[in-house]
Amino acid sequence: MLTGENSRNVSRAVDARLAEIQKTLPAGVKATPVYDRTVLVDRTIGTVEKNLAEGALLVIVILFLLLGNFRAALITAAVIPIAMLMTLTGMVQGGVSGNLMSLGALDFGLIVDGAVIVVENCLRRLGQAQHRLGRLLDRDERFGLVARASAEVMRPSLFGVLIITIVYLPIFALTGIEGKTFHPMAITVMLALTAAMILSLTFVPAAIAQFVTGKVEEREARPIAWLKARYGPALDRALRAPVVTLGIAVAMVIGAGALATRLGSEFIPSLDEGDIAMHALRIPGTSLSQALQMQQMLEKRIAAMPEVKMVFAKIGTADVATDPMPPSVADNFIILKPRSEWPDPRKPKQLLVDEMNAIVQKVPGNNYEFTQPIQMRMNELIAGVRSDVAVKIFGDDLHQLVETGEAVAEVMEQVPGAQDVKVEQVTGLPVLSIIPDRLQLTRYGIAMADVQSTVTAALGGTQAGQIFEGDRRFDVVVRLPEAQRTDLDAIGQLPIPVRMEGGASYVPLADIAKLELSAGPNQISREDGKRRAVVTANVRGRDLGSFIAEAQKRIGAEVTVPPGYYIRYGGTFEQLQSATQRLTIVVPVALLMIFGLLFALFGSTRDAAIVFSGVPLALTGGVFALLARDLPFSISAGVGFIALSGVAVLNGVVMLSFIRDLREGGMALDPAIREGAITRLRPVLMTALVASLGFVPMAFNVGAGSEVQRPLATVVIGGIISSTLLTLFVLPVLYRLVHQRSEAADQADRAVPTAPEAA
């Protein structure tokens, strides 16, 4: 499990190893790691630790403010560290690493939801019993009462937590990159919720019975009393105007559905790694010495920027060819200083990239792509290119592929948000072509093989002997010097032997062949057995999904693709499409499972449907929250919507169960609804507050890794707000409308006198 501490241990080990290597190098040569990813791990883990600590603190503050009992709040808060220890134990046993996604999605508010429901009901029952008896309860009375109070809410709270756990099951249907990213998160959350559920069934009731021994005030905390005084009249108005209440709810759902189509989309928000990777591309065939000279000039310009700590590059192919590149391509790693050392620490990173691009454009002979070190590798692993978007053109003729690619690039440059649009360097490598004149060869009686062997020996070299050193042998190869090999006139003077009866004679190569230097293929790429050329682009200042949609529309309308050629779009948005398609199948199945659990709990399709209606209103709040913060839809936000579906059901289960209990006890419909809603106001608000406030640090944090957590937290917070409003107002109205007829029938039955009374 990689935590902040052992990440720092890895960094120290890397530094120690570099120091050892440095001792073996000549003076003036410095050993530098290509990219120290442990620095980013350290930053992201630090963000996660900060979010968890702040979230736990907010949850504990709410518990102490609203429960009104110090010991009970302490017992509820104790669930957090115990559940966390149980979760970490399960992660270790299951081999799940502690990372940005697995630990970053934990919400201590969700973990204590079940405990809050149990503790609140126990305190209420204890306070009522002490008030009725006018004395403190003895040990047996207290234990029995806590057992009964826990049993009252055990079933709904157990089902509620179970439902929240079930909604994470669709995440396991994700495959590929998205599956590897989000599976650890689902495993961790399910472990945490399972641990919390076990503690709510065992530890919490036992601790309440054992330690809450003093006088329990029946009166509630001031914030709850203040809210109850205003909630009652508002609920009465909602019950008197059911059409208006439900109309507002339906309008919100329809409006959110319409606005959801305006949300952009992307696979996963780009993680700010803190550093910059710049891909420098030069003319194919650029020599290594020329590339080094241009690279030094480029690095000098970049290093002069006040925000840059150091810059280094990787050119060509290493001995272990995991990333083969020609000398004309260089990966530049630009390590930035901490923001506190920048002239303007508040400068956006995008503005810095724009300034850097303006500087490097002054260095002639280069094309550039700006990205981030790990993001570049991820894009390459996912789509085979280093950019965000890849438009792949398939066909047979290389020149036609290049021509179509240039047309596509011209259109893509006009799409808002497009940056670093480039056509893959398929051609452009200087090639010397020697085309023999067959008529002249016949006239001189020269065989084609003689021409080929002479040219190969002169330009490529021929073995002239061997040198022996002990048991090792080295070939001696002879060829023309480089100055003559690159001179067409000198090559044209190569003597080609002519076999004649009178003796040997020679003819210059230029007399029997045509010599020309032209641009040939730089590389021939294939995919699925077809030749392809790729147009790449990065997207900045815009979501990826809408960019792709507009690019596809404009390319389809403005670019003519020849017969036999076709276009495919690659990049991270493919993973978004794949995950979205899979979730559209699996999520409805999970929702059906939730409905089945609600039916098993209530034994009534109508009551299950009433509680289940909380799901669309909860999703409504999530959509509004994303729009308010100008965040596109992503798989991270999608996971937030999945989690929200379970949270929205929990409070509905708690309130509806209490209303049903009151009705089963003989209370009439309207008094039962009002009494149940007002009585359950405190647990509903507490579970909503602790669940939403637990996500607040994730929603507003700006540290490393916060980009990935922000959509998830935003969706959950917005959805909890709307689902709480549903639970407090819409759910009672729905319950009254659904059960009004049955209540009227029951009253009519009670009003009809029995046979003896009639006599």
CA distances 284 to 90, 391, 424, 460, 730, Å, are 54, 21, 11, 20, 67
State the chain's mean pLDDT as an integer. Answer: 78
How many whole angstroms separate alpha carbon 436 and alpha carbon 77? 88
pLDDT tens for each residue of 354-363? 888 888 888 8
pLDDT digits (tens, 9 = 90+) for 631-647: 888 777 877 787 777 77
- Tokens linked to 282: 């030069």
The pLDDT assigned to 164 comes to 75
Q: Provide the pLDDT for residue 506.
A: 84
pLDDT in tens, 88-105: 888 888 877 776 677 766
Tell whether the model's pLDDT for residue 714 goes beyond 70. yes
The pLDDT tens digits for 599-617 are 887 788 888 888 888 788 8
DSSP 459: I
Identify the residue with better confidence: 165 or 244.
244
Confidence of residue 577 (pLDDT cuts 50, 70, 90): confident
pLDDT of 382 above 70 = no
Percent of the chain whose pLDDT exceeds 90: 0
pLDDT given for residue 3 in this prediction:
45
- The segment with the largest mean pLDDT, out of 62-71, 341-350, 473-482, 566-575, is 473-482
Task: Output the pLDDT for position 93.
Answer: 84
- Residue 703's pLDDT is 60
Q: Is the pLDDT of residue 228 over 70?
A: yes
Question: For 127-166, what is each residue's pLDDT tens digit?
Answer: 888 877 777 778 888 888 888 888 877 777 777 777 777 7
Higher confidence at residue 598 or residue 759? 598
pLDDT digits (tens, 9 = 90+) for 510-556: 888 888 877 777 777 777 778 888 888 878 777 777 888 888 888 88
Do 559 and 411 form a contact (C-beta atoms < 8 A)?
Answer: yes
Q: Which of 375-379, 390-394, 676-680 holds the top average pLDDT? A: 390-394
Distant-in-sequence, close-in-space partners of 734: CB < 8 Å, separation ≥ 6: 246, 610, 613
pLDDT at position 702, please? 63
Given a cut of 50, whether residue 2 has pLDDT beyond it is no
Dist CA 603 CA 4 (whole Å): 49
Q: Please state the rounded mean pLDDT for residues 323-345.
A: 81
Quick one: three-class SS letters along 553-617? Answer: HHHHHHCCCCCCCEEEEEECHHHHHHHHHHHHHHHHHHHHHHHHHHHHHHCCHHHHHHHHCHHHH
**Distance between the two ends of the chain, CA-based, in angstroms?**
82
* Residues 710, 626 contacting (CB under 8 angstroms): no
For residue 64, give the nearest of 192, 211, 222, 214 by alpha carbon.
222
pLDDT tier at 4, thresholds 50, 70, 90: very low
Is the pLDDT score of 1 beyond 60? no
What was the pLDDT predicted at 49?
A: 65
Whole-number Å distance between alpha carbons of 88 and 91 = 5
- Give the pLDDT of residue 64: 74
Q: What is the pLDDT of residue 746?
A: 56
What is the pLDDT confidence band of residue 391, given thresholds at 50, 70 and 90?
confident
Sign of the torsion formed by the C-alpha atoms of 414, 417, 420 and 423: negative
Give residue-wise pLDDT tens across range 268-317: 777 777 788 887 888 777 778 888 888 888 888 888 888 888 888 888 77
pLDDT at 8: 54
pLDDT of residue 138: 80
**Cα gap 398→523, rounded to integer Å:** 10
Burial of 332 (0-12, 13-18, 19+ CB in 10 A): buried
pLDDT per residue as tens digits for the range 23-46? 776 766 666 655 555 555 556 666
Confidence of residue 749 (pLDDT cuts 50, 70, 90): low
Mean pLDDT of 41-53: 65
Residue 191 near residue 90 (C-beta atoms within 8 A): yes
What's the pLDDT at 743?
61
